[in-house]
Amino acid sequence: MAGVGFSLKALRTDESYTGLIRLYGTAGIISSGPWLLSILTLLFIGLIGRELVTDPHDLSRFQVCVTWLFAASLLWTGPMQLMFTRFTADREFLGEYDETLPNLFGALCVLGAATFAISIPLVALFQNSTWTFKWILASAFVVLSQTWLVVIVLTGLRAHLAVFSCFALGYASTFVACLLLARFGQEGLLMGFVIGQATLLFSALCVLARKLPAKSAVAFRFLERRSFYLELGLVGLFYNLGVWSDKLIFGWGAGTGQRVLGPLRASEVYDLPIFLAYLTIVPGMAVFLVRVETDFAEAHREFYAAVRDGAPLLRLEALCGNMTDAARRAVVDIVKIQGITLIMCAALGPWLLSLAGISELHLPLFYIDAAGVALQVILLAVTSMFFYLDRRRAVSVLTGLLLLSNAGFTWLSMRLGPDLYGYGFAMAMAVTSLLGLVLLSRTFSTLVRDTFMRQPVVAS
């Protein structure tokens, strides 16, 4: 999302309440709109599809399959997403715009072949399922994995309206196709999902083909040794595995999870409250986008432009102070908006759970999960600022800590009993975000010195 804030600057000229609503509304659509479209589409499929399927259990099996497809594809492609994003950013910085599209096609070929290869032994685990279902499941894994890579490149080009439009088209196709094929059971529903994801994938590729020049059809420069950033690969793996580890542990827990289809499991006690809690991330993500990707990004650009232009020390220190202030305002504003959101959750919690058909016994779990989600927005802001400063090692340490702490605290909370369910996730986010803030503060305190000391020494 680096640089997205520059396209939001035009909306900041109007300081009225209407202008602020337009600014943060647009930021909310950019940051959370595609995700909300996917979630709401699957929810409506679950509600309407009950009247169309012959076996009601087909819907629950379909939803669990899609959840695991999302998790597995993010874990599988996380390292490649970040490394390829850095590759395309370097191409843009060097003005090699005609290298991005050919290398994207090359990356899709490599990723598609590798994903299909690992899909074969994975679908073999579904011993009691039909071969039709297995092939559709493998196809869904391949298409979804490729979709993540294409969408992240399109997002990097700041084509935010195009991203939202592609998601809208893709999930509208998913909705229609799933309902039309629902009478064929779980195979039909999953095939509808594949059709929708393929629509999203190819529509995004069409947008990229129109926007980007290409010097060749396919290229593989992204596989060169200098294009590999090990820390980014680790971050992509650690972060996604860290975010999903509590869900996986609850799903595989003997007393908290149950087998749904083949090796796939779900946790009725944990999955629904954490899902509702993640809906509260939208206000914080809007503020995150405006404050980090606009204010902080602008201060960052001014500081490093001054460094390249040889500005005097006092000027650099002043600009570094501006960047520090922007980072502080971003964190404070996120805390404020997520604090207000938590208060609203406390007031509306019983009504929300009733609307979702969840027992009020899950209220404590919903509250603590919402607190953990609020802390996760702070962690996202911190890691984004580290990425701006090219502190890849710091982010790899933070995401590694997130993985270990979320897995460890979640396991401990399960051992201590239902009253502490969800506290592992919240504690992990609290510890990781707090350490991130400490490291970020130290980084800013020595940034001017480190900017020059970290440069390579060139012999004359």
Tokens representing 304 are 């490093």
Q: What is the pLDDT of residues 370-381, one digit of tens each?
A: 999 999 999 999
Q: How confident is the model at residue 5 (pLDDT cuts 50, 70, 90)?
A: very low
Q: Distance between CA atoms of 26 and 20, rounded to whole angstroms?
A: 10
Could you give the percent of the chain with pLDDT greater than 70? 92
The answer to whether residue 428 scores a pLDDT higher than 70 is yes
Pick the closest to residue 313 from 303, 328, 323, 325 (CA basis): 303
362 vs 6, residue with greater confidence = 362
The answer to whether residue 315 scores a pLDDT higher than 50 is yes
pLDDT score at 382: 95
Could you give the percent of the chain with pLDDT greater than 90? 49
The answer to whether residue 95 scores a pLDDT higher than 70 is yes
- Our CA angle for 108, 67, 136, nearest 5°, is 55
Q: What is the pLDDT of residues 159-176, one digit of tens each?
A: 677 888 899 999 999 999
Q: What is the pLDDT of residues 214-239, one digit of tens each?
A: 888 899 988 888 888 888 999 999 99
Lowest mean pLDDT among 128-142, 154-168, 212-226, 282-296: 154-168
Name every residue whose Cβ is closer than 8 Å to that of residue 135 and which is 6 or more positions away in sequence. Answer: 123
Three-class SS of residue 372? helix
What would the mean pLDDT of 103-124 be, rounded to a whole number?
93
Q: How confident is the model at residue 4 (pLDDT cuts 50, 70, 90)?
A: very low
pTM: 0.88
What would the mean pLDDT of 100-122 be, rounded to a whole number?
93
Pick the closest to residue 236 from 50, 346, 73 (CA basis): 73
What would the mean pLDDT of 101-106 be, rounded to a whole number?
93
Q: Distance between CA atoms of 240 and 160, rounded to whole angstroms?
A: 23
362 vs 454, residue with greater confidence = 362
Q: Distance between CA atoms of 378 and 332, rounded to whole angstroms?
A: 9
Lowest mean pLDDT among 19-23, 52-56, 102-106, 175-179: 19-23
The answer to whether residue 390 scores a pLDDT higher than 70 is yes
The answer to whether residue 6 scores a pLDDT higher than 50 is no
Q: What is the pLDDT of residues 114-129, one digit of tens each?
A: 999 999 998 888 888 8
What would the mean pLDDT of 65-85 be, rounded to a whole number?
92
pLDDT score at 319: 93
For the chain, what is the largest distance between any 2 Cα atoms, rounded to a whole number of angstroms?
78
DSSP 262: T
Q: Is the separation of the CB atoms in 448 and 393 below 8 Å? A: no
pLDDT score at 433: 96
The answer to whether residue 1 scores a pLDDT higher than 70 is no
User: Cα-flanking dihedrals φ and ψ of residue 354, to 5°?
Assistant: -65, -40
Report which secondary-structure segment, H or E, holds 68: helix 57-93
User: Can you count the helices (H) and strands (E) in the chain?
Assistant: 16, 2
Angle, in degrees to the nearest 10, between helices 297-308 and 313-355: 160
Q: Distance between CA atoms of 158 and 431, rounded to whole angstroms?
A: 32
Mean pLDDT of the chain: 87
Tokens representing 257 are 């999870």
Q: How confident is the model at residue 8 (pLDDT cuts 50, 70, 90)?
A: low
DSSP 455: S
The answer to whether residue 358 scores a pLDDT higher than 90 is no
Lowest mean pLDDT among 9-18, 78-87, 136-145: 9-18
Q: How confident is the model at residue 293 (pLDDT cuts 50, 70, 90)?
A: confident
Lowest mean pLDDT among 53-57, 144-148, 281-285: 53-57
92-101, 143-152, 344-353: range with highest mean pLDDT: 143-152
The answer to whether residue 460 scores a pLDDT higher than 50 is no
Q: How confident is the model at residue 144 (pLDDT cuts 50, 70, 90)?
A: very high
